[in-house]
Structure 1
Amino acid sequence: YTIDLPGNKKFNGGEQLKVTSTDPSGNKSDEKVIDVKDTTSPVTPTVSEVTSESTQVTGTGEPGSTVKVELPDGTELTGVADDQGNYTIDLPANKKFNGGESIKVTSTDASGNKSDEAVVEVKDTTPPVAPTVSEVTSEITQVTGTGEPGSTVKVELPDGTELTGVADDQGNYTIDLPSNKKFRGGEQLKVTSTDPSGNKSDEKVIDVKDTTPPVAPTVSEVTSESPQVSGTAEAGSTVKVELPDGTELTGVADDQGNYTIDLPSNKKFNGGESIKVTSTDASGNKSDEKVIDVKDTTPPVAPTVSEVTSES
């Protein structure tokens, strides 16, 4: 026999059907009870966003079904959807995602029917580590260092100018400085890296090291009568005067760059000697040496004259 079921009658599985037969004389058979077998696959489970920071995989599936999560390395994790259909599956602490990996999720009901596979891509939400920055000096023409491979490295100059470059597959980056951007030393550069998913690292702040020597100081005329050595040098720099006998005297250039260094009263010049003058800035950079000859401006003593007589 074949009996069509109404189109609006659907079975989930587990229900019971009762079947009897009655002959033409009206005699009815015993009742046959049969269980409906569940052969319907669960719907594909939903999966909440999975990120590189996630510690769990969550979503919904058929209530009571076993949800299986297959990780990119083939590891399989399982959990059971509750009576509301919600599931939560913890990720092992040693399983970390970078972003871009695929996770496969299925659910299998109590009758062994398996859903279609849900494939979800792990979203990268992990910021790169702050980039390293090689020493930046007042003489450099490039900023270099390391960052996450493929990340975009941004260098913000003290005046707000932003320069960018991309870290290569080894993580190395080199960013050229514009020729019109010069550092004195003491300025700060801010460096960040942003990965292809838009995650931005913490900011690395680096101080520019002054490695530029001051220009050689100027020295006013020094004469055999001078009580001081004076001139101009880089403001704040320490000026050193080396006398012909090796004695060293120092002074500091004021904020206008002027310096005056007193000569000891016991140091006298005849004229023709050489004095060496240098300046050293606060970072220890030393200028070229300025050499100046002492000018003889001391008149001779009056000559002695032997007696002159009318007979001389």
Structure 2
Amino acid sequence: MTSVPALPEADRPGDARGRMKQAAQRAHRNRSVRASARIGLLANGLVHALIGAIGLQVANGGAGEADQLGALSAIATRPGGLAVLWLSTVALWGLALWQGTNAAFSVAPNRRILVFRRSLNVGKALGFALLGTVTFWVALGARAGGAESVRRADTAIVESPIGLFVLLAVGTTVGIIGGGLVWRGVRRNFREELRYLWGPTKVIVLTLGVFGHTMKGVAFLVTGGLLVAAAVFADSRWVGGLDAGLRYLLTLQSGPVLLNIVAAGLIAFGLYLVARAAFLRH
């Protein structure tokens, strides 16, 4: 009886998942993708630091829009700003590719945790891709000055039949992300993103990571809470992004102090991203 030769592992039916995983791992290890990821982290760090700086300005009576669009528009007005935006666009999309393919290296003691870790990588990748897209549109000429258009869009969302459900879903998602960031900061789970550190460098980077993740989480919790409130009370005045969430802090008792702390935390998060670019683990 003639035996049938076994198929090579890569050619076996059903092994498409394995080939996809190998392709993702090769892309993740690619030097160009890794370099792009580092530049993307630097760009993301710059954006967060600028958001924090604008937040400090607002907390002390100044003007500005303390969100990603406001920060990117501020970059665009500086000499060489457009070149920075175009470079950042490509780098952030490269960072999204690097972060997404990192899911191929995820390991866990059981399938449930493995799915969670892979989903977390994909979620981060989508966030970086979105920021890259916003950067692309700002580089094309979008500006943060269209506040009136944004307000009209917010009102239309609230008044639409499904708008309130959309706000509720988005607000809940933003709040969950915020809670996750606070947990990640307090538990210092972000250490898995960094290679081994020691001495004063370790203390500085961990301090930036804890403070930065926690305060960004607080900002997201407030922003998500406002979106949920807007859905519950059908009030477009509470609809807004990160800028609206930070400005809401000013309405609370000791509001300027709170906003100064959260804004400083966003700057710390930006500096942590710079450190992450320098001490990238994978």
TM-score normalized with structure 2 length: 0.18
Point out the structure with the larger strand share: 1
> Relative contact order (C-alpha < 8 Å, sep 6+): which is higher?
2
Normalized against structure 1, the TM-score is what?
Answer: 0.17
Greater per-residue helix proportion: 2
Structure with bigger gyration radius: 1
